[in-house]
Structure 1
Amino acid sequence: STLNQSIEFNNIGFYYDKDHTILKNFSLSIPKGKTVALVGQSGSGKTTIANLLARFYDVSEGEVLIDGTNIKNLKLKEYRQLLGMVTQESVLFNDSVYNNILMGKPDATREEVIAAAKIANADSFISNLPEGYDSNIGDDGGKLSGGQKQRVSIARAVLKNPPIMILDEATSALDTESERFVQDALEKMMENRTSLVIAHRLSTIQKADWIVVMEKGDIVEQGTHHDLIVKRGVYHKLVELQNFD
């Protein structure tokens, strides 16, 4: 299965209990091939949107549609095949780098794994490991640095080559050099792909096709970078303060 038209969040509401609404009346359309960036302070609901799209939770109200089909009606396993995720917490296993990347597409060839690692700016550091791609990365990737772990999970997502990418590009844990490598890898991966990005960096946000500014579960502004700057509202202030989280 694939994505032919769009992802629609149709009047979404989400709460753990009625008194603590996290999202209300949230609607958003992500056309195929476009990148939508969610920005806003912590607690604004950005991560919840990503988790609802990934179906880690189901919506309390409204519906999430893929090409017009409610995702609750799709088999979870098949639906997840459509998605790639790169989050702050890379989920890595005590195994070789190679097998960690291979999880993205278990029947991939070695050439495909290496090609994915190259796109993720990971091939050079992997090649320098004691046993290259066959090096064990330790419990939870403990033998790798933060930036290296991120790039292994990006390589995995590139190998999977899903039609939809969900990205939390927080790189607070990275030094400037690995941040550049990771940033570049993410940009390469998002080209021509339908992406929902929780964006923390102005460079990513500016490149998005559409920007959604959130506060306490509501959309307060949305538009292109240019339009939102001209508007001189919430987004303009965030840019001036460089405060996207």
Structure 2
Amino acid sequence: MAQRARIVLLSAGGLGPTAIARELSCTRQTVVSWRERYRTLGLTGLVDAPRSGRPTSVSSADILLRTLCPPPLGFQRWSSRLLGAELGISNASVASAWRAWGIRPTRHGGMRLATDPVLDVDVARVLGLYVAAGVGALAIECGPPVPGDRAPVARRPDVGDLGVGDARVGDLGDGSLADVGDGAIAFLRSIPSGGAPHPQAIIVAGATPWWLPDDEHRSAIHVAGSYRSWSRLVRVACLMAGARPRGAASVGALCAALRCRDPDAAFSWSVG
């Protein structure tokens, strides 16, 4: 109800749907839907209809974006019940969206990512991304929580529409599997060393990386269950990094590189 009321108030104040969506970290369609319901039905249009099986009016992307915003004063993290009340949906819908994105909020803006092993992290910046036939790897720098110094989600750079989930690119020919492995190892060796104060983690797609030597980066590897899960975690990590100035700069550089990517070739980028 709180978000719906703010949509109505901001609309009455002269803001358009795009500006309201940016302000509230939701989609433009969410703004339009609730604004039209208010125009048609008045205040009763902002109340959930008492019928079972109705489709949710809040997408999983909306839930993700709101999860990455700070919880109300007095709360250290979102619970599914608290966020459901904020968005006017059931806590089961929130929990389902969190499972789909592979996340669970922790204290002070951190996130537990559904990898093997589980990764509890607050992403300070993105260090690199590698995408090739059968391989996806994201390198991140982990940082301490910054509960009071986060950029609004709507202002953070987002890789959501840049095709990072297309992990099977190119036309594999003879010997290309070895080339992919060599390229992935070269990518890891290009990642700058962070040192103990800033631990690093590598999130890889699909399965334990067959291309990784036993003596290299093994302790930092966290495996996502599928390419789709991995690509969603890439987006989550980039949105988290965008909360900080250095992190936003790293994600912006990655976005710029992805826009110039050759879709028929392996992609390798590391922060300068």
TM (norm. structure 2) is 0.25
Structure number with higher strand proportion:
1
Tell me which protein shows more helix as a share of its residues: 2
Instruction: Tell me the TM-score normalised to structure 1 length.
Output: 0.27
Question: Whose Rg is larger?
Answer: 2
